[in-house]
Amino acid sequence: MRPDLSSAPPAVAAPILAATGLARAVPLAGGGRRTLFAGVDLAVRPGEVVAIVGESGVGKSTLLNVVAGLDAADAGQVLIGGQDIAALAEPARAALRASALGFVFQAFHVLPHLTLARNVALPCLLAGMNAADALARAEAMLAQVGLDGRGADWPAVLSGGELQRVAIARALVNRPGLVLADEPTGNLDPETAARILDLLLSEARERRAAVLIVTHSDMVAGAADRVLRLSASGLVPA
CA angle, corner 175, sides to 174 and 179, nearest 5? Answer: 105
Domains: count for the chain: 1
Q: What is the pLDDT of residues 14-48, one digit of tens each?
A: 999 999 999 999 999 888 999 999 999 999 999 99
39 occurs within a structural domain:
no
Instruction: Write out the residue range of the structural domain in which residue 102 sits.
Output: 48-70+89-237
Instruction: Give domain status of residue 11, yes or no.
Output: no
CATH number, residue 65: 3.40.50.300
Do the domain assignments include residue 24? no
Residue 83 lies in a domain: no
Q: What is the pLDDT of residues 159-189, one digit of tens each?
A: 999 999 999 999 999 999 999 999 999 889 9
Q: Identity (one letter) of the amino acid at 138?
A: A
pTM over 0.85: yes
Percent over 70 (pLDDT), the chain = 95
Say if residues 67 and 17 touch (Cβ distance below 8 Å): yes
Q: Report yes or no on 152 lying in a domain.
A: yes
